[in-house]
Amino acid sequence: MSEQMLYRALSRAVLFRLGGGDPERAHHLTMAALARIGRVAPARRTLARLLDTPAPRRVFGLDFPSPVGLAAGMDKNAVAVQAWPALGFGFVEVGTVTAHAQHGNPQPRLFRLRTSEAIVNRMGFNNEGAAALATTLAAAGPVGVPIGVSLGKSKITPVAEAVEDYLTSLRLVHPYADYLAINVSSPNTPGLRSLQDRAPLDELLGAMTAEAAALAPSRPDGRPVPVLVKIAPDLTDHAVAEVLEVCQDRGVAGVIATNTTLDRSGVSTTELGMAAEVGGLSGRPLRRRALGVVRFVTSHSDLPVIGVGGISDVDAALAMLDAGASLLQLYTGFIFGGPGLVRDINRAVAARDAGEN
């Protein structure tokens, strides 16, 4: 039995039973364990020797030791930020964080679809707030890989006042972020996806890139922090094309494609009841649409793309890179596949890089 197959078997037997079978409680217990590992340097070094496989990339002016990153949503408050590189991740995106601390939506709000290797969530940007995240990242110091920070809109902030809400978060976290991801595509905050429309998106991105430029002299390298935009898989091609035009006009550094979906295509018939829960779907059923969006983005713009959605095995990862993605992110795939999946993807990419040289 391979290491990844062993992890899958053990995760279903043990990890998924943490917290009495409550997925959210199991998540918090796992984060607490990883936070403890992250504070112990010998433990980090041991894991890194087992799991680290360099496959370096340079994208939007940053050096990534490998192309596989942790997607936002896993470590919202950066509690385990020091542990993720030891598990083989070449970059880590924390958040989504908001200007105001918030509890998120009522529980239960996280549902595992084991047969489909998918998750439905309606978390609602539960986080401790941008100021708390800045304090945590400052205390952590450099972790050896780029750190992205995903920014969202506070629920209590009206959509008409979203720009200042995002700017508040940017000002707080930019000293500790290697890039910023503007999340306007979560389905779990009322009105948020309307910010993907041309006019509000243009206003938001214009303000964010201008503020990043104004703050550049305070950063060690004197350069503006790269600003990326995370888009929904449920946009039409026309809507994606409009987003890309705005991104290019406003000097955005890249695109993250995609967020979770409201579509339930590809879910096992045995899990349609749970899949009907309100929220965004991530995991294997999203693979085809996420791949299609990445192909569209890379064929209609020169913007670098972080591909995310349905990457549950090596073949899916390589297909995403073949579609034009410069980097990858895992969330649900990591939950079901574990650190072995990160290592296997990095090894496959490194082997292919060696073959091309």
124 is in an annotated binding site: yes
User: Who's near 54: CB < 8 A, 6+ residues apart?
Assistant: 65, 66, 346, 350
Please report which helix (H) or strand (E) contains residue 318, including its range.
helix 314-322
74 is in an annotated binding site: yes
259 is in an annotated binding site: yes
Q: Which amino acid is at 210?
A: A
279 is in an annotated binding site: no
98 is in an annotated binding site: no
**Beta strands in the chain, from DSSP E residues, in sequence order:** 57-59, 62-64, 68-70, 91-97, 110-113, 118-121, 147-151, 179-183, 227-231, 254-257, 280-283, 305-308, 327-330
What are the distances in angstroms from CA 65 to CA 50, 69, 86, 331?
A: 16, 10, 12, 19
Q: Which amino acid is at 154?
A: S
96 is in an annotated binding site: yes
191 is in an annotated binding site: no
SS (H, E, C) 224-283: CCCEEEEECCCCCHHHHHHHHHHHHHCCCCEEEECCCECCCCCCCHHHHHHHCCCCEEEE
- 97: β partners: 151
194 is in an annotated binding site: no
150 is in an annotated binding site: yes
230 is in an annotated binding site: yes
53 is in an annotated binding site: no
Q: How far is CA 101 from the centre of its chain?
A: 19
Which of the residues 154, 169, 185, 186 is marked catalytic? Answer: 186
72 is in an annotated binding site: yes
197 is in an annotated binding site: no
178 is in an annotated binding site: no
* Closest among 329, 244, 333 to 295, alpha carbons compared: 244
Active site residue 186: yes
310 is in an annotated binding site: yes
20 is in an annotated binding site: no
Distance CA 133, CA 141 (A): 12
User: Who's near 242: CB < 8 A, 6+ residues apart?
Assistant: 197, 198
How many Cβ atoms are within 10 Å of 189's Cβ, its own excluded?
Answer: 25
260 is in an annotated binding site: yes
Binding positions: 72-76, 96, 121-125, 150, 183, 188, 230, 258-260, 283, 310, 331-332
Binding positions for substrate: 76, 121-125, 183, 188, 259-260
Binding positions for FMN: 72-76, 96, 150, 183, 230, 258, 283, 310, 331-332
Q: Which residues are catalytic?
A: 186
